[in-house]
Structures are given as structure tokens and as C-alpha cells.
Amino acid sequence: MSKVLLLYGGFSAEREVSISSKDDISSALKNKGYEVIEHDLQDVWQLLKVIKAEKPDVVFNGLYGNWGEDGELQGFLDMLQIPYTHSGLKASVLGMNKHLCKLIATQNGVKIAQGEATTYAKFLQNGTSIPFPYVIKPVADGSSVGVYIINNPSDLENVSYSDLNTEILIERFIKGRELTTMCLNGKSYVVTELKPKTSFYDYKAKYTSGYTEHVLPAEIPEAISKTCLKYAEKMHKALDCNTISRCDFRYNEDDGVVFLEINTAPGMTSLSLVPEQAKYAGISFADLCDILVKNANCRHQ
């Protein structure tokens, strides 16, 4: 029996999302015969004490956002030489940084929206050359935290970041249908269309039951579905993701399929998209968690 240290909670804006997925992951791992130690990461020194006392074989990364999927935890565990689930340091850093990720997408023939990276302070001073409507989002954050859709100058009154040095990405708003696809061990299986009841697929739509309809498989032309699957596999490979990733897209007839972002540590709640798509591909939630543990590794291992 392998001993798995399940990390959840954490320091990021997505802490509550992580906490809500903890019980399902823990139960799945126990059903697969693993000994599970659950730890709410709030203090690194305490984490070190737990690792020293428990000596886990694998760390299951159940954290999201900063310190979960941005490379910091990955680098920490690499130094300790403890295998962990999901992607390594490089893929995590590149996937979390939306600007760098878009540059990689372009290099690999994946279509993106016109955009520019800047800081909140520079934006307040200089504005942007991107025409209305456009989207403002943090360069490195997840779950649609801090995302603003700007249709006209009056919408700018709602934009606020606590730190003037916050790095932001401003890009042309792509109207159309919200699509997403999982890539598991280099292969993508199906496309889901998301139909949120909110103005866009924001934090509330992602994590509130009944706020978003999941159409699986998406009712889209076969050529569009194939493009999404191909793009997801390209981005998974380009970033060198481990085991699992999920790519989000927008689609309309004029722009075609436009890549929005990749998630190297996709959500694992009861409302999450990856477990849903895995089930469609014949992979149960418990099997998915098991695959993640079995594929766990660390740099230089």
C-alpha cells in the first residue's frame, strides 16, 4: 500500500474550491487502497513536519491557483525529491502565466485572440490599444478570478486590483460558444460546451450548482470538435504536461476556434469538467485519481 499525502486548501483565491474537492479525492484514493493523509497547507514549516513524520510515497496536489499550480509547490517537492501528481515545474509555470502560454500557443499553430500584457498601473496611465470589447484578466490566476469584460468606457469603473503592480493581460473579447476539452496522457477525447446563466463562465458559474449547463458532447460541427481536440493535445505536449490538462476555447463562425487558456491542475469537484469528461471516456473518478498517483513523479527522480 502506498502512502499518499493529499494537500488541499492553500493560500490562493481558490482555497475554497480546493477544500470542496478534498473529500471526493480522499474517498477515491482510499477506495483504491491507498493510505491517505490529508493536510490543509497554510504553513510551509508545518508541511515539512508532516512530510518528515509521515514520509509519504506520493503527494497528491489538490491545490489550485498560486502555490498550487504555478510551479512553487512543484519546485519545493522537486527539491525534496518527493513524487507528486499533475504537471511539473515548467509546465505549471508556463500554464499559469497566460501571456507566456499564449506565446507558446502561437508558436505551435494554435489560434489566440489579439492581446497585450502590461501592469495595472501602466494600464491606468496609458490605457490600451485593444479595441472594445476586450477582457482584462490577471496574467497568473485561475477560476476566472479578477476577470473583467469591458464593453465600453463606463465598464472601466468596475476594474480594480489591490496591487498596482499586478500583471494583467488585455485581449480582444471573443464572442461565441464556450468550449473545453481534457487531455489525458496526451490524448483528448471529447468537447464539452458550457452554457452559463451568468454573463460569462465566471467563478460563480463554475462552482455553483445549476448555474452552468454542460453539453457533453458539444453539439458543434465535427471539424470544430477535431480542432479543439487537436489544439488541446498540442498544448499538452508543448508545455510537457504530466497526466492531465484541460484547455478552454471560444468558437464562432468568424473567428473559428480560439484558445483561451490551459489548466494544468484542473478542478476535481463534483461540478468539475475533467471528471465528467473522463467518465464519458469510460474512466471513473476513482480510476482517474489512481492514474494521477501512478503517474506521479518529480524532476531528477
Supply the residues annotated as catalytic: 14, 143, 207, 246, 248, 261, 263, 267
Report d(CA 2, CA 172) in Å as an integer: 47
Per DSSP, 22 falls in state: H
Strand partners, 193: 179, 215
Tell me the residue type at 48.
L
With contact defined as beta carbons under 8 Å apart, do 225 and 177 qualify?
A: no
With contact defined as beta carbons under 8 Å apart, do 87 and 73 qualify?
A: no
Instruction: Count other C-beta atoms under 10 Å from residue 203's C-beta.
Output: 18
Dihedral sign, Cα of residue 102, residue 103, residue 104, residue 105:
positive
The helix (H) or strand (E) run that includes residue 102 is helix 98-107
Dihedral sign, Cα of residue 78, residue 84, residue 87, residue 93:
negative
Which residues, in sequence order, are CB contacts of 286 under 8 Å at separation 6+?
Answer: 28, 29, 31, 32
Strand partners, 59: 5, 84
Report d(CA 149, CA 165) in Å as an integer: 20
The helix (H) or strand (E) run that includes residue 138 is strand 134-138
